[in-house]
Structure 1
Amino acid sequence: MNTRIPPNLVPGDLIAVTAPSSGVPEHLHPRLELAINSLKKKGFRVLEGECLRSQHKNESACKTSRAKELMTVLTDPEVKAVMPPWGGDRAIELLELMDFRLLEKTEPKWFVGFSDLSTIHFPLVTLSGWSTLHGPNLMDLGAKELDPTTKAVWEFLAAEKGDVIEQFSSKAHQTEENQWGSASDAGFNLSHETEWKILDGVTSSVFFNGYLIGGCLEIISRLAGTPFGNIRLFTEQHIEEGVILYFENVEMAPCEMTRALISLRLHGWFENLKGILIGRSAAPDVSDNTKHNYLDALKAALGDLLIPVLYDVDIGHIPPQISIVNGAKATVTFTEGSGSITQQL
């Protein structure tokens, strides 16, 4: 099964906004309005779902309603992209209620976002053969001004099949939580210098390529061993060219992260890879040097792999983040703390 790139977005296209996981509570509706208006200013029409503007017990609505609405917009031929406001915690409840075989027979459209949305991204790629966009969430796009890394999401959504897009490591990143409640049109506070790192700590320059797949580690590690997280379907498809796996950690402590990564290793996830990209960790690290810390976790699970492993890459919950097209062929370069990812759609 070849991964299919959705058609590029053009003004006049219809974008559906639904929340398959967490909804948007009332105090953040102003930010949601700004995000939706940013779509309209670009000339897109917007279809708001019923599972969107409410939040109770970490969900926008019951799982049946969320799954039905998501399947409706994913199969609607008039809808050209689905852009949830953000992720959340409970998208995994939808998997058994969705028909990924039907979606395999459906013309693909862009599914955009990250975090808990990785729950949907992964089977859309491996079971339905869609390319999806792991990158800024819709709520990120409600800022008055977007930084260059975040803004690049629109370059991907407007690109046509065959186009090549190169992105570079950001100059700086944010460390604190977003302040949308007090300043609803705020962008990211990019105050800390960005530095990509290589796990072996020695190599100063590396180059590798392959087909991209990945997501939030908390999510994909729980999909491993299920029909919805069968990475072998993807790696076997690209056995000659190879695969680049990417992930990022949101909240797992180092020992828990070690267990998650070794579980993936035991499931064969690190076989037939050309390289691994790891986003900046959003979880608290261990300051006591007598205890197992974040870097120890990476080394314990990945340190003896005979492939490049880059970490602190611009991926995930510590913004800004590069847009990654699952299923796209990519070339990664790294030189002394900086890097780039070139993707061909």
Structure 2
Amino acid sequence: MSIRFPPKLVPGDLIAITAPSSGVPRHLHPRLELAIKNLEKKGFRVREGDCLRSQHKNKSACKISRAKELMFYLTDPEVKAVMPPWGGDLAIELLELLDFNQLAQTEPKWFVGFSDLSTFHFPLTTLSGWATVHGPNLMDLGAKELDPTTQAIWDILESDRGTVIKQHASTAFQIDENQWGTATDAGFNLTQRTKWKHLDGVTSSACFQGHLIGGCLDIISRLAGTSFGNLPLFQEQNSDEGTILYFENVEMAPCELTRALFSLRLHGWFNNLKGVLIGRSAAPEVSDPTQQNYLDALRSSLGDLTVPVLYDVDIGHIPPQISLVNGARAAVLFTENGGSVTQQL
């Protein structure tokens, strides 16, 4: 299957906002409104869905309403991008209600975000052939000032097809997940020095190329073995240029993470890859030296791979994050001084 890239966004384009997973509770409506205002400042028209400004039992609305609204926006020719406010927990309820065959026959539009939105990114790319953006959520874009890493999402969304985009490792990252709190227009608190690392602890440089695919491991590991998570088929379809798998862990403790990664091994996900990118982990670390920790989990499940495995990359819930286009051809460069990802749209 060839990957189809949506056209670039231009002033006057319509962006739809719906929450197919968690909605936005009332106390965070000011942040949502700032994010919408920032879209409008860039010249975009914005349409809000009904499944957005409410939250009950971890979701914005019932699964039927969420699925219908998401499909409507994904197939509406007037809509040029769908930007949910963020992820959540229960997007998986929608998968059987979405028509990915119909979407394969529909002109693609940008679908943007991360976390639970990986539930949709993965099949949109592998089943429908859409290039999608795993990057900052809409709520991240409500800041008064964006850091350069977050700002780079617009380089992707507003560039012509065929453009080559190079993103570098951030200078610094925020130590915890973002909670927004009462600082409505705040950006990220970037206090910790960023350093991408090679899993073998020895290799000081690496370079590899392939088609990007991945997302939040908590989500995509649950899709493995189903029609919505057939990575081996994607690898087969892109065998000439190879595949780069990326993921990040948000909640899994080390032993659960180990089980998830070994499950993916048994599903063949780590066969015939060009490389692996792993984002900073947001899950609690284990301090007891007699217990399995995060790095133990990575080494025990991935340490014997014969391709580069980089971790603490700018991906996921510990911001900021680079914007990765699922399905795009990419080249990853890693050195002891940093790293970069170059993508062709």
**Are 2:60 and 1:60 equivalent residues in the alignment?**
yes
Q: What amino acid maps onto 1:135 in structure 2?
A: G
Asked if 1:342 corresponds to 2:305, the answer is no
CA displacement at 1:260 relative to structure 2: 0.2
Map of 2:20 onto structure 1:
20
* 1:140-184 residue CA offsets vs partner (Å, 9 max, x unmatched): 000000000000000100111110000000000001343523110
Q: Measure, in 2, the Cα distance between the counterparts of 1:233 and 1:33.
A: 41
> How big is the alpha-carbon RMSD for the aligned residues of Structure 1 and Structure 2?
0.7
> 2:88 corresponds to which residue?
88
In the other structure, the counterpart of 1:283 is: 283
Which residue of the partner structure matches residue 184 of structure 2?
A: 184
- Distance in 2 (CA, whole Å) between partners of 1:117 and 1:214 is 11
Alpha-carbon separation, structure 1, partners of 2:337 and 2:71 = 42
Give distance in 1, aligned partners of 2:28 and 2:108. 31
Q: 2: CA distance between counterparts of 1:17 and 1:342?
A: 28
Report the equivalent of 1:101.
101
Q: Report runs of 4+ in structure 1 exceeding 3 Å deviation.
A: none
The superposition leaves residues 220-241 of structure 1 with CA deviations (integer Å, 9 ceiling, x where unpaired) of 0000000000112211111121
Question: Which of 175-184 and 44-53 deviates more?
Answer: 175-184
What is the SS of the residue equivalent to 1:58?
coil
Residue aligned with 1:32, SS? helix
Equivalence for 1:297: 297
% same residue:
77
Which residue number corresponds to residue 274 of structure 1? 274
Q: Do residues 112 (structure 1) and 112 (structure 2) align? A: yes
Q: Provide the residue aligned with 1:162 in structure 2.
A: 162
> What is aligned with 1:257?
257
> In structure 2, what is the Cα distance between the partners aligned to 1:322 and 1:151?
9
What is aligned with 1:78? Answer: 78
Q: In structure 2, what is the equivalent of residue 200 of structure 1?
A: 200
Secondary structure, aligned partner of 1:236: helix
Deviations 1:97-123, CA, capped at 9 Å, x for gaps: 000000000000000000000000000
State the 1:290 CA deviation.
Answer: 1.0
Alignment partners' CA distance in 2, 1:157 and 1:72: 21
TM-score relative to the length of structure 1: 0.99
Contact kept, 8 Å, 2:177 with 2:317, in 1: the verdict is no
1:6 corresponds to 2:6 = yes
1:140 aligns with 2:114: no
Question: Whole-Å Cα distance in 2 between the matches of residues 302 and 232 of structure 1?
Answer: 17
1:239 alignment counterpart:
239
Aligned-partner SS, 2:7: coil
* Number of the residue aligned with 1:318: 318
Match of 1:230 in 2: 230
Partner of 2:221: 221
- Check conservation: 1:122, 1:229, Cα contact below 8 A: yes
Q: Retained in 1: the 8 A contact 2:22–2:88?
A: yes
**2-side partners of 1:247 and 1:128: how far apart?**
21
Unaligned runs of 5+ in 1: none
Question: For 1:43 and 1:189, how far apart are their aligned partners in 2?
Answer: 28
Q: Which amino acid aligns with 2:229?
A: G
1:197, 1:337 within 8 Å by CA — same for their partners in 2?
Answer: no
CA distance in 2, matches of 1:164, 1:51: 35
Which letter maps to 1:267? Answer: H
- Which letter maps to 1:251? E
Q: How many residues align?
A: 345
Structure-1 residue corresponding to 2:51: 51
2: CA distance, partners of 1:108 / 1:208:
28
In 1, the alpha carbon distance for the partners of 2:17 and 2:182 equals 24
Are 1:18 and 1:82, in contact at CA under 8 Å, matched by a contact in 2?
yes
1:124 alignment partner, SS class: helix
